[in-house]
Structure 1
Amino acid sequence: MSPKAAPRRTYSYLGPAGTFTEAALSQVPEARGQIWRPVHNVAEALADVAAGRSDGAMIAIENSIDGGVSTAQDALAKIPNLRIVGEYLVPVSFVLVAKPGTKLEDVSLVAAHPVAYAQCLGWLSEHLPEHQHVPAASNVASTIGVLDGTSGAQAAISPPGITDHHDVEVLAEALIDNPDAVTRFLLVTGPVPPPAPTGADKTSVIVELPEDRAGTLLEMLEQFSTRGINLSLIQSRPIGDSLGRYRFVIDADGHVADERMADALMGLRRFSPKVVFLGSYPRADRAIIKYSDHYSDEVFVEARDWLRGLISGEPDV
């Protein structure tokens, strides 16, 4: 009797097929051959994980041109029991597509998501100086609106992967004004132990300040700086219960298993009324974290042993 096959895992992602989020999910080895569930927005993807409908969700969290994705940051703050287990980078580039047989000179109305449109405006101004813009709900929705006629546009700005899913005429490639543009994605699951440290890791947390007074932001930052920890991202988001109340989304270099990071997190826990630990995970660029020798694990362990010796009355050595 053959062994029973393991059940397939489900991954939620911003759909429909052909989005940059799908391209990010395709980078995850354990997701290949599993069930990919397209959803309408980031909050829905994370809610799938929280409710057990999906085993993981791929979400966009930051763009190198437009900065942090506020809807994703807010969802991570409000939906409990989520963990980031991986980070993935997708270069941003767009194609201009239309119904088969369309030519560039036929285009006067372009459908595009507002962010994509802003990132391609230089190219459009040069090649289609008299065009008008029709906003679309997503990069893929812009193409669907052109194909089914609902948008009224003759062409759409879409991800390159759109050609794998729709019969379109590619009128132009590499529309992006900044060729170095990249979007950072996160793979999020339910509560699990963090992946093992690699030496090239990030730790993500969301921290609320205890009160609105001078110096509290500095106190929060000192939890990291006094332990030699670099922050690769810090962004404020309104909590929403009153004016002047903010939470801070933070990416810190290092892993929770590192002594200096563990010490910093305990400092945050003492300082803040609410700390959301989102996870420690390998950096997408695999860049090894460098720090001074006096912030090594051994130094923190030796300092604790020294203090225990003082308390127990051990003689100096």
Structure 2
Amino acid sequence: MPGVPPSRFAYLGPSGTFTEAALLRLPAAQRGTRIPMRNVPEALDAVRGDDADAALVPIENSVEGSVPVTLDALVSGDPLVITAEVVLPVGFVLAARTPGEVTSIASHPHALAQVRRFLRTNYPDAAIVEVLSTAAAARDVVAGRADACVCAPLAAEVNGLTVLDEDIADNPGAATRFALVSRPSPPPPPTGNDVTSLVVYIAHDKVGALLSVLTELAVRGVNLTRIESRPTGERLGRYAFYLDCTGHVTEERVGEALMGLKRVCAEVRFLGSYPRDTDENPVAPPIGLGNHDFADATRWLQGLRSGG
């Protein structure tokens, strides 16, 4: 199939963003064509429109939480699926054209949120300018639209800026999770340490609807690692729920859980099963709820049905 494996990669640009740094961790992206985009919806629409085979977009930060624009863009428009994730440690620098007085500092809102204490302590009187990306902030400094920027070391290097301060993040252990998104296709094979991502829409006029969702996962030993609500845009009080679960759609217990969700939810959008980018082992399912237990139970039931 065209674009499988992907060779054209859209990403949140311009060159020098953390997203590009994360993209360069993927061997296929190192060999392929990298296409910088102005924002996340534009990157995802490039995949939907076949102008790119895949897009790498930020989805979650360990300090600021999820990236709402990414979540919203994934569930609007034609379906897309996540095929891989990249977890990138995030380190910031303050950079300028030359050392001197700093009266304005530009950066992406998520980056600014992660260096609040540093800016408040060291540059309390500087005007803060929010822009589309940390790399765009670096370009604004080059163009003279800001005195300094909070950016990735890569952006400072690419734009020839002088680093005024290094390692300025308030939380040194911060990391951002990125998702590689493509058009729907069979998921990559299970690795034993995978994530399945979903969006579920519950019946809001049904008492205990969210509990029903959680029960379908819990009774099958599927560990829920993230749940978040986002407004559907219909009216106040209408929300969709984003779920990350351990396991792979090809596993018996995960497959049964998805079928259960299909029965109790108004709608389920499958966002993909893909390898976790971590050395941590997944949480083991309770006794009786492992994949082999489900396989044994399935064989037993088939035997009953066949009269064996």
Query: Could you say whether these structures have the same fold, taking a TM-score greater than 0.5 normalized by the shorter chain as the test?
Result: yes
Q: Which string of whole-angstrom CA distances, capped at 9 and with x for unpartnered residues, describes residues 37-90 of structure 1?
A: 111111111111111111110010001111111111111111323121111011
State the SS of the aligned residue for 1:293. coil
Partner of 1:22: 20
1:7, distance to aligned residue in structure 2 (A): 11
State the SS of the aligned residue for 1:298. helix
Q: Which string of whole-angstrom CA distances, capped at 9 and with x for unpartnered residues, describes residues 211-240 of structure 1?
A: 333200000111100111111110011111
Partner of 2:197: 204
Would you say 1:124 and 2:112 are equivalent positions?
no
Partner of 2:63: 65
Partner of 1:162: 155
C-alpha distance in structure 2 between counterparts of 1:43 and 1:134, whole Å: 22
Contact residue 205 and residue 251 of structure 1 kept, 8 A: yes
Q: Flag the 1:8–1:188 CA change in 2: closer, same or farther, 3 A.
A: closer
* Equivalent residue in structure 2 for 1:296, among 286, 290, 293: 290
C-alpha distance in structure 1 between counterparts of 2:266 and 2:157, whole Å: 48
Q: Which string of whole-angstrom CA distances, capped at 9 and with x for unpartnered residues, describes residues 124-170 of structure 1?
A: 22222333322223212222112212x2x321111111133111111
Q: Which string of whole-angstrom CA distances, capped at 9 and with x for unpartnered residues, describes residues 184-226 of structure 1?
A: 0011111221111111110001111033332000001111001
Partner of 1:45: 43
| Alignment coverage as a number of residue pairs | 304
Partner of 2:302: 308
C-alpha distance in structure 1 between counterparts of 2:29 and 2:218, whole Å: 37
1:8, distance to aligned residue in structure 2 (A): 8.2
Contact residue 90 and residue 182 of structure 1 kept, 8 A: yes
**Structure 2-normalised TM-score?**
0.93
Partner of 2:104: 109
Partner of 2:210: 217
**Structure 1 residues 133-142 or 227-236, which shifts more?**
133-142
State the SS of the aligned residue for 1:191. coil
Q: Which runs of 5+ in 1 are unaligned?
A: 1-5
Q: What is the percentage of aligned positions where both structures have the same residue?
A: 42
C-alpha distance in structure 1 between counterparts of 2:41 and 2:172, whole Å: 29
**Structure 1 residues 85-94 or 298-307, which shifts more?**
298-307
C-alpha distance in structure 2 between counterparts of 1:114 and 1:201, whole Å: 30
Partner of 1:259: 252
Q: Which runs of 5+ in 2 are unaligned?
A: none
C-alpha distance in structure 2 between counterparts of 1:302 and 1:310, whole Å: 13
State the SS of the aligned residue for 2:31. coil
C-alpha distance in structure 2 between counterparts of 1:131 and 1:220, whole Å: 47
**Structure 1 residues 164-173 or 135-144, which shifts more?**
135-144
State the SS of the aligned residue for 1:232. strand
Partner of 2:78: 80
State the SS of the aligned residue for 1:140. helix
Contact residue 190 and residue 275 of structure 2 kept, 8 A: yes
Q: Counterparts of 1:93-108 in structure 2 under 5 Å? A: 93-100=91-98, 102-103=99-100, 106-108=101-103
1:306, distance to aligned residue in structure 2 (A): 2.9
Structure 2 counterpart of 1:308, one-letter code: Q
RMSD: 1.8
Partner of 2:243: 250
Partner of 1:3: none
* Equivalent residue in structure 2 for 1:175, among 168, 186, 210: 168
Higher-Rg member (1/2): 1
Contact residue 39 and residue 132 of structure 2 kept, 8 A: no
* Equivalent residue in structure 2 for 1:135, among 130, 139, 145: 130
Structure 2 counterpart of 1:300, one-letter code: F
1:178, distance to aligned residue in structure 2 (A): 0.4
C-alpha distance in structure 2 between counterparts of 1:21 and 1:40, whole Å: 12
C-alpha distance in structure 2 between counterparts of 1:81 and 1:248, whole Å: 16
Partner of 1:35: 33
Contact residue 200 and residue 286 of structure 1 kept, 8 A: no
C-alpha distance in structure 2 between counterparts of 1:308 and 1:9, whole Å: 44
